[in-house]
Amino acid sequence: MNKQLPFLIAGPILRKATPEELVFWLVTSQPLQGRFELSLEPQQGLIFEQDLDQCTQLQLGQRCYLTLANFKGSFPADVALSYEFLTSEGRLTQLYPELLYGDEQALTIKISTKADYILHGSCRNPHHPSPDALVSADNKVASQAIEDRPDMLMMSGDQIYADHVAGPTLDAIIQTIELLGLPDETFVDSPIGSGSELYAHPDCYYGREKILPHYVDDGSLLTKLFPHRNVPIFSSREAENHLVTFSEFFAMYLLVWSPTLWPYLKTTRLHDERFTHAGHTLEPKWQQQWRDEKAIIDDFVKGLPNVQRLFAHIPTYMIFDDHDVTDDWNLTIGWEKAAYSNAFSNRIIGNALIAYWLCQGWGNEPDNFNQEFLSVADRFISDPGAKRQDEFIQYLYTFERWHYTIHTSPKVVVLDTRTRRWRSESRMNKPSGLMDWEALIEFQHELMHQDKVVVVSAAPMFGVKVIEALQKGATIARQPLLIDAENWMAHPGSANTLLSIFTHTKTPTNFVILSGDVHYSFAYDIKLRFRRNSPNIYQITCSGFKNQFPEPLLAICDHADRLLYSPRSPLNFLTKRKRLKIKKRDPNTEGRRRLVNTSAIGELKLDAHGKPQRISILTGDGKEWDFPPIEEK
């Protein structure tokens, strides 16, 4: 290292804020020592303090310490507060004044008992050419008074793209591992023996699909005709830089959430016009792709100070989707059988889950992770060898508390639609249900006796029907991985159970569903057919923060859906949703498109009854588009 690392590597991120609990996540290059202070604003005095040595701190590398600061007490709600970390290096905001808004003297927050104003979205791909909508969100929050700020930011999946990594990003990740002294790891039954061997491998950049595991029997007609045909276990079409080691997954979170490490990375490695790695020169097509990606990544990095500042002020909750781990994660039982029976792919998926727990899951609801969980985790972190790593991974595969509830008004119920799947019993390559029967019954119990609720489902519960029909066609052709054939209606058991929940007499009066995943935005108003006192159901989808759907394909799907599946179309009665009447809101954008295809963050404002007052998106380039209410004729 040519110069000393910054003290703050990532964070602070306000992960949870209730009148009884405040949770912050941050990563430092030295042990976090000192004191946390919470004060009333404006400058009305200290109301809470706690020594930082009482917080849970994990040393993940020689120069890398992750702290989950979980403060419990009785905190005032719905008023302006400020907080400060007084560290051994100095006051955090004096060390990093760019964390502050305007004339702030300390970091200001609000503990809200309500969920009436929610920012939401998903799918943040650093090297997608669209602008980062989190930067737009930060600019808007900067102009708001504390009492007018959002109650929370909900990130509903694909916070990282572990299976689709740009070459310059992978280079930054490998440098970060070296800078922080993150642990190496060993592999068995794989083409590489260790992480360090992978980083020195000639296929490390733009060639990892050759290293990633394959299997023989995928149950398709091609396999029957060609029984020795090797098929990749990981189905991502851009797997040439797929993350593999735990340290790679963890380092990527640091680099997409914080700007502080980027200035310490060498810009002369690999992208110095020689494009040489491990004695091999990249092919010309990859050299050009590197140049194209680097221009986008450089622009992405410029927005990271805004993202870091936003996370420090707004309570931020998260849940995984597939790209946090790998594309099509647990899509079919055949995929699961292949992935988890292979030692190499089993480890890669497990590494993603370890990093997810450390960077996302833990902060959502720390009490979900009991002493037994923390003991297994600590054994690995204290002794990061293959044995302890595999023990922790196997423990994570049996864990069933990734979902959680935020006890605001309305209650916010966040679903795990990835690890508790309803596996198909008829075919190995038929899509699994997004939640199994037991998980859906638990979900129903969360809704009982509520008059209003917000549900977070990574994939829309009610999607674009013509696209779902295309996905069903791919499933019938036994190619569900071809177009990610996963939606709530794809599996009869989970679809019928979900619809039964909506038609139950004790369903909340106002039921809002927030989703992402699909890389476009839309809003639906839904009622039960043939029922006078139907609940009000709203499907609100915003995606992605930094991603878009391919054009003109989306325009074709939008037009076909409008034509074939209007509310009065007889085709609706041939679908599983025949008990529901779905009306699609028209956004106030130019043209007649109902599916808005731009990077954006969703803004939802609810009235006192939990009914949407305003459904809108804030685009990456700072424009606001509404989905106004449907005028009843």
Task: Report pLDDT digits (tens) over 54-83.
Answer: 999 999 999 999 999 999 999 999 999 999
For tokens 């100095």, the residue is 90
Residue 417 has a pLDDT of 95
Task: Please tell me the predicted confidence (pLDDT) of residue 163.
Answer: 96
In a domain, 136, yes or no: no
Is position 350 within any domain? Answer: no
Last residue of a domain, one of 111, 141, 165: 111
Tokens of 300: 């992405």
- Domain count of the chain? 2
For residues 21 and 143, give the distance between their C-alpha atoms in angstroms, rounded to a whole number. Answer: 27
Gap between the Cα atoms of 195 and 242, Å rounded = 13
Which domain covers residue 98, as residue numbers? 8-111
Angstrom distance (rounded) from CA 530 to CA 228: 54
How far is residue 484's CA from residue 475's CA, in Å, rounded to a whole number? Answer: 10
* Final residue in a domain of this structure, among 111, 140, 175: 111
- Decide if 180 contacts 64 (C-beta within 8 A): yes
Q: What's the chain's length in residues?
A: 633
Domain for residue 284, yes or no? no
d(CA 434, CA 436): 7
pTM (two decimals): 0.94
Residue linked to tokens 């499907």: 539
Residues ≥6 apart with Cβ < 8 Å to 240: 206, 207, 208, 209
475 belongs to a structural domain: yes
Cis check for the bond before 410: say yes or no (omega within 30 of 0).
Answer: yes
- Which pLDDT score is estimated for 266? 80
Ranges of the chain whose pLDDT falls below 70: 1-3, 42-43, 216-230, 267-274, 426, 471-486, 567, 572-577, 632-633
Domain boundary among 47, 76, 111: 111
The phi and psi torsions of 34 (rounded to 5 degrees) equal: 130, -135
512-547 pLDDT, tens per residue?
999 999 999 999 999 988 777 888 999 999 989 999
Bond into 12 cis (ω within 30)? yes
Q: Let me know if residue 526 belongs to a domain.
A: yes
Q: What are phi and psi of 370, to 5 degrees?
A: -80, -175
Report helix angle 371-382 to 386-398, nearest 10: 160
Kindly state whether residue 505 falls inside one of the protein's structural domains: yes
Which pLDDT does position 268 carry in this prediction?
Answer: 54
Residue 123 region by backbone torsions, left for phi larger than 0, else alpha for psi between -120 and 50, else beta: left
Q: Is residue 257 part of a domain?
A: no
Asked, for residue 222, whether it belongs to a domain, the answer is: no
CATH of residue 75: 2.60.40.10
Residue 529: its pLDDT value, please? 80
Phi-psi region at 39: left, alpha or beta (left = phi > 0; alpha = psi -120 to 50): beta
Question: For position 1, what pLDDT does the model report?
Answer: 41
